[in-house]
């Protein structure tokens, strides 16, 4: 992270030689929430960024996160970003606060409101320098040395966010965060999963456990926490202690292929009121009329022994067509599936035209299906049911449902089971 120091020297130099020229192009650039990502990428490789979980929030999401608070930020608030990086979210928070005539008095007021932690000294230094420059950018007059200005931001410091407890957080009124999304070992006590989990879930949960009741939280989190079956226990715990809502926010930025959502609300006990998914009203879900499973054949692993069967995989299943004659056969000792049924590919992306692109498999012989496909077999074993299903998969209702529930690439059996097939009660 020391590579970032070169940037901090440039910020320091700029302050020292600053000639009361607020609004200048260079000054704006130094507090620009989108440009800092490019600077970070020049200092660190993508692997280093991933390892540290250092991806700085751009202007669009920073604005959305600050607007997510339902209680106004005032000079009496204490606003914490527990993993503040180079201070983007704190800069955006400072934009809710007024500016005094002088830098000293502006930073005295801002310093009482803004708190931030990060593991890396160079990020903390950048955050403080950029907040000082932001005050100048907003029109405060430089009337003190850089050291005096930085001392006024003593609440922004090097600290491990996970070692902060109830006592330290007792006066915090608002928390804003975009925690790291890297893989962490799950904590040994009080946790819903073992093994590696997304760090964002661990940080968010730690703050839900330790912040005072009624504290506002606005967080940018990876979509897998909202839609992944692995995080069901996490969602359950958060729902019991936090009252709020989610907003889908698309890709984190143009260079980072991770879908995120905003979770915002306030800490309350026994609330059970987080709407993780858009409410659809009552509907009949696919599992009531179809059985769903992953294709049982693992091509690289399963031996070529046993009977030879028609063989279906993602490359020989033409989209939206019916396969009756088979070109490929393969020996397979495992479970084969009797037609008629539908297969869909497990991999799909939110920008695909159809998230669930299907093929009908018909004929009389049981078929070996490869495990990159999901098999959907009608309980009433007719081709008519399969055709009905393809129509449902082509509809915008299915696409919207899947995009809302599961932004990441892999469709799961659980989510396919929940696809609405008949809307019973319109909203």
Ligand X SMILES: C[S@@+](CC[C@H](N)C(=O)[O-])C[C@H]1O[C@@H](n2cnc3c(N)ncnc32)[C@H](O)[C@@H]1O
Is 88 a residue that touches ligand X (CB under 6 A)? yes
Is 207 a residue that touches ligand X (CB under 6 A)? no
Is 162 a residue that touches ligand X (CB under 6 A)? yes
Segment interacting with ligand X (CB under 6 A) among 19-27, 178-186, 190-198, 341-349: 178-186
From 53, 228, 340, 358, residue interacting with ligand X (rule: CB under 6 A): 53
From 8, 30, 81, 389, residue interacting with ligand X (rule: CB under 6 A): 81
Question: Nearest distance from residue 62's CB to ligand X, in Å?
Answer: 7
Measured in degrees and rounded to the nearest 5, phi and psi for residue 186 equal -70, 145
Q: Judged by CB, which is closer to ligand X: 83, or 398?
A: 83
Segment interacting with ligand X (CB under 6 A) among 116-124, 275-283, 289-297, 371-379: 116-124
Q: What gap in Å lies between CA 140 and CA 245, rounded to an integer? A: 37
Q: Judged by CB, which is closer to ligand X: 169, or 415?
A: 169
Is 161 a residue that touches ligand X (CB under 6 A)? yes
Q: What gap in Å lies between CA 47 and CA 53, rounded to an integer? A: 10
From 111, 180, 228, 295, residue interacting with ligand X (rule: CB under 6 A): 180
Is 358 a residue that touches ligand X (CB under 6 A)? no
Segment interacting with ligand X (CB under 6 A) among 21-29, 177-185, 342-350, 391-399: 177-185
Is 39 a residue that touches ligand X (CB under 6 A)? no
Phi-psi region of 85 (alpha: psi -120 to 50; beta: other; left: phi over 0): left
From 119, 146, 408, 413, residue interacting with ligand X (rule: CB under 6 A): 119
List the one residue out of 146, 22, 47, 38 whose CA is nearest residue 86.
38
From 160, 247, 257, 282, residue interacting with ligand X (rule: CB under 6 A): 160
242 DSSP 8-state letter: E
The size of the interface with ligand X (CB under 6 A), counted in residues, is: 23
Is 93 a residue that touches ligand X (CB under 6 A)? no
Contact (Cβ atoms closer than 8 angstroms) between residue 315 and residue 369 = no
Q: What gap in Å lies between CA 97 and CA 75, rounded to an integer? A: 7
- Strand-pairing partners, residue 288, are none
HSE of 52 in the Cβ direction (CA atoms, 13 Å)? 20
Is 120 a residue that touches ligand X (CB under 6 A)? yes
Question: Nearest distance from residue 113's CB to ligand X, in Å?
Answer: 16
Q: Helix 103-113 vs helix 121-137: angle between axes, to the nearest 10 degrees?
A: 130
Question: Nearest distance from residue 89's CB to ligand X, in Å?
Answer: 5
Dihedral sign from CA coordinates of 407, 411, 415, 416:
positive
Question: Nearest distance from residue 184's CB to ligand X, in Å?
Answer: 9
Other residues' Cβ atoms within 10 Å of the Cβ of residue 247: 11
Is 125 a residue that touches ligand X (CB under 6 A)? no
Is 262 a residue that touches ligand X (CB under 6 A)? no
Q: Judged by CB, which is closer to ligand X: 89, or 107?
A: 89
Q: What gap in Å lies between CA 50 and CA 102, rounded to an integer? A: 40
Measured in degrees and rounded to the nearest 5, phi and psi for residue 221 equal -130, 155
Q: What gap in Å lies between CA 250 and CA 82, rounded to an integer? A: 23
User: Can you point out the beta strands (E) in 207-328?
Assistant: 216-222, 242-253, 256-267, 273-275, 283-285, 290-294, 308-312, 322-323
Q: What gap in Å lies between CA 224 and CA 246, rounded to an integer? A: 13
Is 280 a residue that touches ligand X (CB under 6 A)? no
Is 137 a residue that touches ligand X (CB under 6 A)? no
Applying CB under 6 A, the residues found at the interface with ligand X are 52-57, 81, 83-85, 88-89, 117-120, 123, 160-162, 178-180
């Amino acid at each position: 992270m020391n590579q970032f120091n070169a940037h901090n020297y440039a910020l320091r130099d700029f302050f020292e030689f600053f000639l009361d020229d607020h609004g200048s192009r260079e000054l704006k650039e130094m507090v620009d929430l989108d440009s800092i990502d490019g600077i970070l990428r020049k200092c660190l490789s993508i692997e280093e960024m991933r390892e540290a979980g250092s991806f700085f929030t751009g202007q669009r999401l920073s604005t959305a996160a600050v607007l997510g608070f339902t209680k106004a930020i005032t000079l009496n608030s204490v606003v914490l970003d527990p993993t503040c990086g180079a201070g983007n979210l704190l800069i955006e928070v400072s934009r809710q606060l007024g500016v005094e005539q002088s830098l000293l008095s502006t930073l005295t007021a801002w310093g009482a409101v803004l708190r931030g932690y990060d593991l890396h000294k160079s990020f903390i230094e950048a955050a403080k320098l950029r907040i000082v420059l932001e005050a100048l950018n907003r029109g405060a007059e430089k009337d003190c040395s850089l050291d005096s200005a930085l001392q006024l931001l003593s609440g922004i410091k090097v600290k491990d966010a996970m070692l902060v407890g109830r006592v330290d957080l007792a006066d915090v009124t608002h928390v804003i965060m975009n925690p790291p999304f890297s893989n962490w070992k799950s904590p040994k006590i009080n946790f819903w999963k073992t093994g590696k989990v997304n760090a964002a879930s661990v940080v968010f949960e730690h703050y839900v456990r330790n912040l005072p009741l009624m504290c506002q939280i606005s967080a940018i989190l990876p979509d897998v926490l909202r839609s992944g079956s692995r995080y069901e226990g996490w969602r359950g715990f958060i729902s019991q202690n936090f009252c709020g809502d989610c907003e889908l926010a698309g890709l984190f930025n143009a260079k980072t292929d991770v879908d995120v959502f905003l979770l915002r609300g306030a800490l309350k006990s026994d609330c059970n009121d987080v709407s993780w998914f858009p409410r659809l009203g009552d509907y009949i879900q696919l599992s009531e009329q179809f059985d769903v499973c992953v294709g049982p054949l693992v091509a690289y692993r399963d031996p070529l022994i046993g009977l030879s069967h028609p063989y279906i995989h993602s490359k020989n299943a033409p989209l939206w067509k019916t396969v009756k004659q088979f070109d490929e056969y393969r020996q397979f000792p495992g479970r084969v599936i009797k037609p008629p049924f539908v297969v869909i590919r497990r991999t799909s992306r939110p920008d695909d035209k159809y998230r669930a692109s299907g093929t009908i498999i018909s004929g009389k012989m049981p078929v070996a299906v490869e495990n990159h496909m999901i098999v959907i077999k009608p309980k009433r074993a007719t081709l008519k049911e399969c055709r009905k299903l393809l129509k449902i998969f082509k509809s915008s209702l299915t696409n919207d449902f899947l995009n809302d529930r599961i932004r990441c690439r892999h469709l799961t059996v659980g989510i396919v089971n929940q696809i609405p097939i008949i809307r019973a009660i319109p909203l």
